Amino acid sequence: MGKKVTGWAVVAAVLVLCGGALCSWAQEPQATTESQAAESMGQEKVYDPANTKVAVLPFVSALGKEGAEEKAACQMGTQQLRDAFAGRGFVALEDAAVSEALAKLGTELSDSEERTKESFQKIAEELKADLVVCGVLQGYKAYIQRQWLASRKRGEAKIEMKIYDARDQAYHVKAVQVGSAKGSPLEGGLARSRGLREDALTDAISKSISAFLKPYPVKKAKQGAG
């Protein structure tokens, strides 16, 4: 009888250990998302900026409206991306060359189905580019944050960022990023609201590409004509 009890005790102990292992496994993070995996890959690969051509595509809006402010935000986003890469020594292709290639290929970036690996690969081949960078504006607003003693205005921008490597035929960054900005309790007016939205967009862009560009120090810009 004693041996039988001991045997059951052993079985119970094994079950407890296995159950603990299963619980531990269930609590561990699952496989990384595509954006996380892509970001990690981008950090591992090291480029020679002076010999890496970058096609920064025109920033597009997915807000469903084409107001003057949204257009200005997209123009600002495109310029900031070009400056970020060129400022670290990458060969940022001129906007005119990129626009000409998009027109030749008949690519409409406003259509989400045109913002794919296959489309980016064609663009890269047309421009002989190594990297294709695409930003999409998904949210853009300013609002008042109510607080106990005083209220303050805040800006918020949400973007999708993709950095595609034509040689690897893979994304090295593919993520959605939210940026924010805040004003002082006394600030107000339409002009300040616009400024906060722009600051939030700058914040979102910086966050979305900072890990990818981290290995490359800022230096004098070098730009190519494509």
- pLDDT band at 127; cut points 50, 70, 90: very high
Number of domains in the chain: 2
Length of the chain, in residues: 226
Same domain for 155 and 104, yes or no, is: yes
Digit-coded pLDDT (tens) for 138-167: 998 877 766 666 667 888 999 999 999 999
Digit-coded pLDDT (tens) for 92-126: 999 999 999 999 999 999 999 999 999 999 999 99
Same domain for 4 and 51, yes or no, is: no
Same domain for 167 and 72, yes or no, is: yes
Q: What pLDDT score was predicted for residue 31?
A: 30
Same domain for 5 and 53, yes or no, is: no
Q: What pLDDT score was predicted for residue 4?
A: 44
| Residue predicted with more confidence, 38 or 163 | 163
CA dist., res. 136 & res. 142, Å (int): 18
Domain hosting residue 53, numbered range: 33-224
The lowest-confidence range among 27-31, 81-85, 159-163, 221-225 is 27-31
Q: What pLDDT score was predicted for residue 184?
A: 63
Q: What pLDDT score was predicted for residue 146?
A: 66
Same domain for 113 and 20, yes or no, is: no
Same domain for 156 and 72, yes or no, is: yes
How does DSSP assign the chain, residue by residue? Answer: -HHHHHHHHHHHHHHHHHHHHHHHHHHS--SPPHHHHHHHHHHHS---GGG-EEEEPPPEE-SS---HHHHHHHHHHHHHHHHHHHTTT-EEE-HHHHHHHHHHHT--TTSGGGSSHHHHHHHHHHHT-SEEEEEEEEEEEEEEE--SS--EEEEEEEEEEEEEETTTTEEEEEEEEEEEEE--TT--SHHHHHHHHHHHHHHHHHHHHHHHHTTS-----EEE--
Digit-coded pLDDT (tens) for 208-225: 999 999 999 998 544 554
| Residue predicted with more confidence, 22 or 51 | 51
- Most confident stretch, 19-33, 35-49, 87-101, 147-161: 87-101
Same domain for 25 and 40, yes or no, is: no
Give the pLDDT mean for 48-63. 96
User: Mean pLDDT score of the chain, rounded to an integer?
Assistant: 79
Same domain for 20 and 42, yes or no, is: no
Same domain for 120 and 15, yes or no, is: no
Distances (CA, A) of 143 to 66, 90, 197: 20, 37, 10
Same domain for 127 and 177, yes or no, is: yes
CA dist., res. 178 & res. 186, Å (int): 25
- Most confident stretch, 55-64, 140-149, 189-198: 55-64
CA dist., res. 19 & res. 23, Å (int): 6
- pLDDT band at 19; cut points 50, 70, 90: very low
Q: What pLDDT score was predicted for residue 34?
A: 40
| pLDDT at residue 69 greater than cutoff 60 | yes
Same domain for 110 and 211, yes or no, is: yes
Same domain for 129 and 109, yes or no, is: yes
User: Could you tell me if 144 and 164 are in contact, meaning their C-beta atoms sit under 8 angstroms apart?
Assistant: no
* CATH value at residue 177: 3.40.50.10610
